[in-house]
Amino acid sequence: MARQEKKRGGNGSSGSAASPYGFDPTHGYDLQQLLQVTAPQGPEDFQAFWQKKYAAALKVQTVPVLKDTGGNFKGWRVFDLAYTSTDVFPIGGWLLLPEGGEPRRGFIITHGYGNREQPDYHLQFQDAAILFPCLRGLGRSQRQPISNEVKWHVLHDIDKPEQYILRGCVEDVWTGVSALLRLFPYLSGHVGYLGQSFGGGIGALALAWEKRIARAHLSVPTFGNHPLRLTLPNIGSGASLQDYYQEQGKSIFTTLQYYDAATAARFIHIPVHCALALYDPFVPPPGQFALFNALRGPKERFILTAGHHSYPEQENEELKLQTEVERFFRNL
């Protein structure tokens, strides 16, 4: 796997001297440099590896079960949801349905590594059925022996390429689509995906092979360009991978080369909207942009001042981003 050399430069005001993290979360990249970061080619059997997983996931009988909570919140009817994923793994989450009328489109919305405690009620998709799955080992899908702590979850079965935890999380997205279409088959062709951070990286790995999702939004996506990511200081899941890399050496690449979201992006041809941060202590920006740069289909970008970090313009930027996302999915 080729390693992208780290570029230096950028804005000194956001360097390590001004950073509370002890390192520069821009990693010395400015926007023009970020737009040049490439994606690893991946192993020769990358496509075959994932297509085999996808074909198997499509055969799973997801048996979705809804439980009406009786709750109505901000125009939504709130349901508890459970379905079966690969490995007969029970997935828990929520389903939101509009209070008035039948949904005319559907969404799968995943979460970051901070887990999910409730649905995102602020979304202006009142004509949609929205499934919020908790990916395996996290939130409502916690199960021993998988730890729900980020530093351990991201390492679960990393010594087994076929069984690595991220494989199952990707399959939870695919089976989530199956569950949604089992409940609302007429929404076929009108399903979108939204994923942030952890969910953004998992989303890219899933979207590369998923034919039933029409368009997607990925926000500050992780797992992009692992060879480069392992060299960049951070305080997210990448830090755990770096520690493991120091202990185990290059053997970590045997698995990670199959789970690179930027490599997967080479196989994504649907329209994708990405929110990408110039400064991010958890998900190094070069990895985010490696994914965006590798996308093969129609793509749009929204540049954030920072990700996983508070800043004065944050509220205003998030409102603009929400408007952009709503516009992007308007014709789903």
Q: pLDDT value at position 72?
A: 87
User: Measuring CA to CA, which residue among 222, 198, 235 is closest to residue 114?
Assistant: 198
What's the Cα-to-Cα distance from 38 to each of 41, 198, 260, 294, 315, rounded to whole Å? 9, 20, 12, 7, 31
pLDDT tens readout for residues 10-65: 333 344 447 899 999 999 999 999 999 999 999 999 999 999 999 999 999 999 99
Inform me whether the pLDDT recorded for 1 exceeds 60: no
Which fold does the domain 27-328 belong to in CATH? Rossmann fold (3.40.50)
Pairing of strands 272-277, 191-196: unpaired
Inform me whether the pLDDT recorded for 205 exceeds 80: yes
Q: pLDDT value at position 74?
A: 86
Q: pLDDT value at position 174?
A: 98
pLDDT tens readout for residues 211-234: 999 999 999 999 999 999 999 999
What's the Cα-to-Cα distance from 179 to each of 4, 100, 170, 187, 249, rounded to whole Å? 39, 22, 14, 12, 40
Adjacent-strand bridge partners of 73: 76
Model-wide pTM > 0.85: yes
pLDDT tens readout for residues 103-135: 999 999 999 998 888 999 988 899 999 999 999
Q: pLDDT value at position 248?
A: 82
